[in-house]
Amino acid sequence: MKTFKTTFQLILIIVILLINSDTSYSSSRFNMSYLHYGSPKSYLSYINDTDNSLDCVSPNYLDINSNGDLEINNIDRKLIKEVHDKGMKVTPFLSNHWDRNAGELALDKKEELVEQIVTIIEDNDFDGINVDIENLDGESKEAFTAFIQLLRQNLQEDKEICVAVAANPYGSDKGWQGMYDYKALSEYSDYLMIMTYDESYGGSDPGPVASMSFVENSIKYAIKAGIPSHKILLGIPFYGRIWNINDIDNDEKENRIIGKGIPASTINLLLAFYDATVTYDDTSKSMKANFVVETDDEKKDLYSWGVPVTEGNYEIWFDDNFTIKEKLKLVEKYDLKGTGSWSLGQENKDIWKYYKSWLNGDYFNDIENHWAEDDILSVYNKDWMRGISSTQFGPFDNLTRAQAAVTIVRALDIDLINSTSHFTDVKDSHWAKTEIETAYHNNIINGKGNDVFDPDNIITRQEMAQMLTNIIDKDLPEITEENGFTDIDEDDWSYEAIIKMNRYGIFKGFNDNTFRPEEKVTRAQMASILNRFSTYIH
């Protein structure tokens, strides 16, 4: 009887613990950021701005000097305690700041370096270390791996090791990508921070800091190379790069502006000040801005923010909240551990209102418990439909004919056709002109007659049924069963399309045996229709 009572009490305790435990923590994605720019006094302000979105910060406390020796930078014990009090970890980052010779010298005396690092971590109550040694080459691969292995052997088990590694979208073993043995490093560390940025860099031609293909291909290669997905942090840039196009070929000019880094927090101010034209580059999934500064412009040199803005044609490539959100979708897609960002204090502060939710797959605040929530998230993650803002999907909003064409073209993943518009009411300036023209040339849409498409009118259920039938009609057998809807008959122009789409479960009717062909299609309905339709196109 005593044994039974003891066992029952033990089970009861376990049940209570499970009920009261924060089960969300185990499924929460990890988020860290580097602390590099600014003063130690500003670091706490940067951290407070994140609205408890961070799990770890990595301040610039440890450097490798030109002799390969360790230098300590103003370790702030008060900051460490305050960060710990917030429930966050502190893992200082060790950097050679791109100095190849310094990095090689440090690896030659790795035993001494490891001993110093271990002592510093223990003496300052750090939670581990973030190793950010860059710009070595393949000849240093074994030595660098041995250094990380030695660190793991000497650090306490509860101290974390993060290794920052170069993005490698092309699977190269040349240059500084060659110094990183992804698989071996992942075995000796807790996670790897893939620096998926600087695709374009200081001195390069204008281009994205981190295009979507560059980022995604880097993830794919890392997993293929042997890094478990749960050990990968996706690098997020909190900065952009600026080019003065006039400087690119002007070798004689001093202080040329060719891919100079600029914080995201100042880009919006700069663009507004010079009345820049901002566009979304669909190929790279990045933002691009252009503005001109004239020789006699009174604004010249007034708002440079560390960039000596003089006369010229300027181009800035950067990420905004929308493109960062798109990158965070990759964390969910590939089931990564989380993200790391460079660097804290450079970001637009309002990103922290949403970052944690986006990182954990909660993209919209207006679809929770909606009947189409799963369908919406599915098509959003496939990039077939996007939100109406960075926080809302607009499930009850109606869909225009232009939006329907764009959505279908994305779902089919067909090459865009940029030709003169067939439709008289779709001007070259229309936001969806290219997708509408692509849909027309692929026989997805025919318009309303007389070369009219009516792009901004709301699409109806029968119009949508016809569009989808145009795509897959050749793959569907002839429908022989009788019409089950009371509000359509064989004389209706959309009759056959409606029957086919209903027969194959793509379009559903209503409980009163009606189809309601003239009823407008909502964005939520479109998401659901696309998910069912995908069976026939993929």
Which are the catalytic amino acids?
A: 134
- Taking Cα atoms as reference points, which of 131, 57, 145, 141 lies closest to residue 95? 131
Percent helix, strand, coil in the chain, to 5, is: 40, 15, 45
What gap in Å lies between CA 276 and CA 255, rounded to an integer? 22
3-state helix/strand/coil string of 364-408? CCCCCCCCCHHHHHHHHHCCCCCCCCCCCCCCCCECEHHHHHHHH
Cα separation, 511 vs 498, in Å, equals 16
CA separation for the pair 370, 531 (Å, rounded): 16
- Record the tokens describing residue 438, joined without a space: 């692509």
Torsion angles phi and psi, residue 525, rounded to 5: -60, -40
Q: Please tell me what DSSP assigns to residue 169.
A: T
CA 473 to chain centre: 36
DSSP string, 328-354: HHHHHHTT--EEEEE-TTSS-GGGGGT
Spatial contact of 323 and 240, defined as CB atoms under 8 Å apart: no
